[in-house]
Amino acid sequence: MSRALIEQIALNPDFQAACQRYAQANGSSHAIAAAAVGAAAMPAEVFLVRDALDHIMRTARASRTQTRRSRWIVSRAEAALAGRPYVPSEHSLPPTMDTALRRATEKIARLTLERDALLEWAAPESVEA
């Protein structure tokens, strides 16, 4: 159970009243449990969001071509549905466009240097008579 949910339940007025009645010996543990369940009840939007996230996760997992990005979506959705906070180190992030562009630029520069070196090696030396 998440810390936020525990805090939500603990601060709920109905839960507080049920605890007070129990402490004064005129309440029951069942009343406390019922108040806790009522305080923890999620609005319909939360269920819709969870259902949508689950659908996204299943769709990404069922993809015929598993890409790094689709695996990241599945991993992130599973963590969210399990109630775990987002920790970037737990998920293999797909490369950003900046990263891909930087890598491509570096590769072009390296290959240009290699080509120039090969052309220099293969070029016939001028023979002076």
Closest Cα to residue 35, out of 21, 49, 53? 21
Residue 128's pLDDT is 52
CB 77 within 8 A of CB 60: yes
List the pLDDT tens digit at each of the 129 positions of the chain.
567 777 777 788 887 888 888 788 777 777 777 777 777 666 667 777 888 888 898 898 888 888 888 888 898 888 888 888 888 788 777 667 677 788 888 999 999 999 988 888 887 665 454
The torsion defined by the Cα of 18, 19, 23 and 25, in degrees rounded to 10, comes to 20
State pTM to two decimals.
Answer: 0.42
Rounded-to-5 percentages of helix, strand, coil across the chain: 70, 0, 30
Structure tokens at 44: 């319909």
Residue 129's pLDDT is 46
